[in-house]
Each structure stands twice: as C-alpha cells, then as structure tokens.
C-alpha cells in the first residue's frame, strides 16, 4: 500500500534556501543542493522547491539550482513559484521537475490547470493554496499570502480538482511558521470535498504534530520547512516514530 | 553503451541523470544504427498508450526493437513497460509490441473504488521470483509509482509486485528472454531504484 509522505519544502531566493514566519521575516538558511542531498539521504519522500525570487536574474539562478539538484537527487521533485503559463511548466520540467505547483497563476487564469493537465497529465499538476480565516470563512490568498482574493477555499479546491489538478497542497497561513501543529480543522474542511491526494502544510513543530496529522486518513503527505531545516526534526527519526504510531511510512 | 529510445514521449532528464550518476555510458537516440551498436536498450515513456505506440511507429524503430529484444537486454519503464505487452485497453484497444504476453487494463476497474487512481507514490516491491535484476535489491524495498493502468494476465513474467488492493505488476521479465519491464520509475525511486538500474546494466 502507498506510504504517507514526508516532504521538506525549500524556498529558494537568489540561489539560496530561505525561510520566513507567517510568510514574512525571510532568513537565509542554506545551499539548496547540499540541503536536497541531505534530505534525500535522510529519507525524504519528495522535495518541493519554491522559487520566491521575482527578478529575471533570480529565475535563471533558480533553474540552474534546480538542474543541479535534479541531476543528483533521485526522488520526485515538485517545483512552484511564479508559474503562470505552459511555457513555465515546460521550463521547469525540462530542468528535472516531476510535478509543477500552481498558485497565483492559476487564480489569475484557472484554465492553466486544465491546459497543463491535458498536456502533461494530472499527476503533474499540483494546486497549491494559501488559505487564511477571514470572518469565519476560509479565503484563498494570492501573491505569496499577501492578497486576499475573497475566493472561498472550499470552492477553489473543488474547482481545481475538476479542472484537472492531480494533488492539492493546503498551506494554512494561520498556522504557518507558528510550530503548534497543522491546521486540522482547515484540512478537514478541504479533505471532505476533494478526492485527489491532499498535502498538509503549515504549522509542524514537533513529531507528534505529524502523528496527529496522519490520524486523519484523507491527508496523504505532510510538508514542512523550518523544523527540518533547523534540524529540530530529523526525517529519519520522524519516520521511525511515525511507524511506531502505526503510520505506513517508507523506511 | 545503453541506448535510451527517444520517440518524443516524456521527459528523459531524470533517467539520463541516474544512468550518468551510475557512471554508465548512455545516449538518447532515435537512430537504428545506435540501437544496433548498443549493448542494452531502454524504452522509457509516459502518457497514453495509443499515442505512444503511434509515435514509436513513426520513428521506424519498431521492427529493430523487436528483432533486438531477442539478442540484447531491453528494459521498458512505466509506459515503456506497458508497450512490451500484446495489447492495452487504455482509451480504446491498441496493439503493443507483443514481446511479453499479457494485456494492460485500467486499475480503477479492479480495485476498491475508495482508493485513489492514479496509483501514485511509494509502494513496497515484493519479490515473487528471484532474478539477476534483484542482485542489489532487498525484498520489499520501496519504489515510486505513477500510473492508472497495469499489466495483467502475465503471471509467468512477473518478478515483483506491489499491493494496491490488487497485486500490481511491478517488475516483469519475458519468460525465456532478456526483456524486462518496470512499472514504477527506478529513476525516481531513490537508492533502491538506482540499484535496480545498476543490476540491469550488468545483465
């Protein structure tokens, strides 16, 4: 049977891995290739790379980094950040990505999801959603969590799936970087209405948080950045712990 | 030298990277001379069966691949493995290369409807029959799958399976020959996948 997945996320800016809290206060952390190798060796099931640079120069650095990582890390790689056209899909896939994650680009033009699914297959298209509570409702935010689109997250998730997204990453802005656990109420709200794999992101602080997460069986994977980057949680230890909790993990 | 057949289906970046990482001499080619010269052939592929078979025919290499399959080791990966069989029922009915007897059918029709399709992610590969391909592989190591169709009615070719409600055909070998197929992606299966590719390179 398919295992639950543990996915470290590398936010890359100007060729370096960085990390913020609540999507702000960005700090420099490490060299992406070195970090990717470390994660691959310690048991990560997949890696996510987000390009959070805006400039053209930054983009070139990013595809260079991606190519370097993809040529020596043989686990699935998902790439996101600023993806807004089929051309962008093409670029990152040629640099070794296996899946491409869309966020603001798909909010601006939802037909991108369908067009990409048709060309590359649904398994290649990941819908990443940054979601925050606004007046008791779950709103989708765009532009790296800065702009409230007013779009209802439940409707957007369902629409994304219908358009052809093969996976959904749910980033809770409310719990991002706070390290007090994943946003289970938000995950349940989305998990009940979509049937594609659901990846939880935002809030991991300790190993117990992952155990609680996977008790909800509609979640397929847990994604985190800071707790792995700072080595507060070692992925190998985490997976042994999860196995002892009865979670099916690749060990 | 290993020739990786280029017929315009899928991305060969990871496969070529993994072969190079193993220090193997390899090329991507759609030329008959290269296949004739090569010691081994890899047939990759992602996408839909009918479309891929059509593209493979357009290269004019089908006859060469069939002839060489009896002479040198051939490895089909993912859709490339499915093409090795007699026929597929993916969006219609299509003839395959017929190098391994069996057919390719939709997974969704045979498994519990609550399970997700594609069968995507890490699953354990259980060895059914020992073979030199498992030289560096331990029973029940994890491999990475992404597929919605699977090979069946091919029990005498099966070397390894993964459980996904049904026993999914993971690794096959033509009963008396050197034609191998992997439904999973060895180039995405971490160290275990690299070791399977290494074993293939030594067959």
Shortest Cα distance from A2 to chain B (angstroms)? 5
Inter-chain CB proximity B121 and A5 less than 8 Å: yes
Q: Which residue does chain B place closest to A120, by CA atoms?
A: B47
Task: Determine the Cα–Cα distance for residues B4 and B197; give it in Å rounded to an integer.
Answer: 13
**Sign of CA pseudo-dihedral A160, A161, A167, A172:** positive
What residues in chain B have their Cβ under 8 A from chain A's Cβ atoms?
A: 11, 13-14, 17-18, 20-21, 46-47, 116, 118-123, 142, 144-146, 163-164, 187-191, 193-194
Question: Does A23 have pLDDT greater than 60?
Answer: no
Among the ranges given (A56-60, A127-131, A227-231, B5-9), the one the predictor scored with the smallest mean pLDDT: A56-60
ipTM here: 0.90
Task: Determine the Cα–Cα distance for residues B49 and B62; give it in Å rounded to an integer.
Answer: 15
Task: Determine the Cα–Cα distance for residues B43 and B54; give it in Å rounded to an integer.
Answer: 14
Report whether A75 contacts A40 (CB < 8 A): yes
Q: Domain locations in chain B?
A: 2-201
Inter-chain CB proximity A70 and B14 less than 8 Å: yes
Q: How many distinct structural domains can be found in chain A?
A: 1
Q: Which domain holds residue A198?
A: 5-244
Average pLDDT, rounded, for chain B: 95
> What percentage of chain A exceeds 90 in pLDDT?
73
> Confidence class of residue B45 from pLDDT cuts 50, 70 and 90?
confident
Question: Does B127 have pLDDT greater than 70?
Answer: yes
Inter-chain CB proximity A74 and B188 less than 8 Å: yes
> What percentage of chain B exceeds 90 in pLDDT?
89
Q: pLDDT (tens digit, 9 = 90+) per residue, A78-103?
A: 999 889 999 999 999 989 999 999 99
> Confidence class of residue B91 from pLDDT cuts 50, 70 and 90?
confident
CATH class of the domain comprising B2-201: alpha beta
Predicted confidence at residue A122, as pLDDT, reads: 87
Task: State the virtual CA torsion across A201, A53, A111, A135 in degrees, nearest 10.
Answer: 50
Give the best residue of B9, B10, B12, B13 to mutate against chain A (max A CB count within 10 A): B13
Question: Does A20 have pLDDT greater than 90?
Answer: no
Among the ranges given (A45-59, A146-160, B174-188), the one the predictor scored with the smallest mean pLDDT: A45-59
Q: pLDDT (tens digit, 9 = 90+) per residue, A66-75?
A: 999 998 899 9
Task: Determine the Cα–Cα distance for residues B132 and B171; give it in Å rounded to an integer.
Answer: 12
Catalytic one of A45, A88, A130, A209: A130
Among B46, B163, B187, beta carbon nearest to A74: B187
Task: Determine the Cα–Cα distance for residues A82 and A105; give it in Å rounded to an integer.
Answer: 7
A94 touches chain B (CB under 8 A): yes
Predicted confidence at residue A54, as pLDDT, reads: 65
A191 touches chain B (CB under 8 A): no
Q: Is residue A148 part of a domain?
A: yes
């Amino acid at each position: 049977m398919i295992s639950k997945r543990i996915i470290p996320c590398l936010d890359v800016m100007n060729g370096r891995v960085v990390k913020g809290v609540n999507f702000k206060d960005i700090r420099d952390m490490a060299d992406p290739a070195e970090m990717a190798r470390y994660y691959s060796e310690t048991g990560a099931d997949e890696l996510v790379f987000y390009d959070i640079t805006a400039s053209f120069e930054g983009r070139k650095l990013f595809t260079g980094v991606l190519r370097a990582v993809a040529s020596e890390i043989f686990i699935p790689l998902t790439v996101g950040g600023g993806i807004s056209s089929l051309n962008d899909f093409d670029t990152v896939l040629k640099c070794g990505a296996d899946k491409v994650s869309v966020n603001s680009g798909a909010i601006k033009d939802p037909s991108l999801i369908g067009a990409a699914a048709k060309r590359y297959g649904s398994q290649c298209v990941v819908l990443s959603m940054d979601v925050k509570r606004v007046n008791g409702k779950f709103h989708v935010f765009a532009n790296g969590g800065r702009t409230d689109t007013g779009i209802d997250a439940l409707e957007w998730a369902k629409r994304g799936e219908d358009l052809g997204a093969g996976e959904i990453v749910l980033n809770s802005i409310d719990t991002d970087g706070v390290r007090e656990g994943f946003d289970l109420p938000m995950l349940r709200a989305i998990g009940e209405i979509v049937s594609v794999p659901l990846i939880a992101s935002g809030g991991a602080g300790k190993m117990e948080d992952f155990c609680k997460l996977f008790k909800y069986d509609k979640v397929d994977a847990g994604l985190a950045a800071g707790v792995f980057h700072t080595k507060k949680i070692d992925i190998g230890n985490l997976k042994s712990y999860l196995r002892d909790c009865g979670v099916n993990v690749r060990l | 030298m290993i020739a990786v057949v280029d017929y315009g289906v899928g991305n060969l970046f990871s496969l070529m990277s993994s072969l190079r990482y193993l220090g193997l001499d390899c090329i991507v080619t759609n030329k008959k001379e290269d296949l004739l010269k090569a010691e081994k052939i890899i047939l990759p592929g992602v996408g839909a069966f009918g479309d891929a078979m059509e593209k493979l025919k357009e290269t004019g290499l089908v006859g060469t691949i069939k002839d060489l399959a009896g002479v040198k080791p051939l490895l089909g990966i993912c859709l490339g493995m499915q093409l090795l069989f007699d026929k597929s029922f993916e969006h219609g009915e299509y003839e395959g290369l017929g190098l391994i007897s069996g057919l390719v059918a939709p997974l969704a029709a045979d498994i519990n409807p609550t399970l997700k399709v594609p069968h995507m992610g890490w699953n354990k590969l259980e060895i059914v029959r020992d073979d030199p391909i498992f030289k560096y592989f331990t029973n029940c190591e994890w491999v990475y799958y992404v597929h919605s169709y699977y090979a069946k009615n091919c029990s005498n070719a099966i070397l390894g399976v993964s459980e996904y409600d049904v026993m999914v055909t993971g690794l096959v070998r033509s009963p008396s020959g050197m034609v191998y197929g992997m439904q999973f992606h060895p180039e995405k299966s971490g160290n275990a996948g690299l070791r399977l590719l290494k074993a293939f390179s030594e067959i």
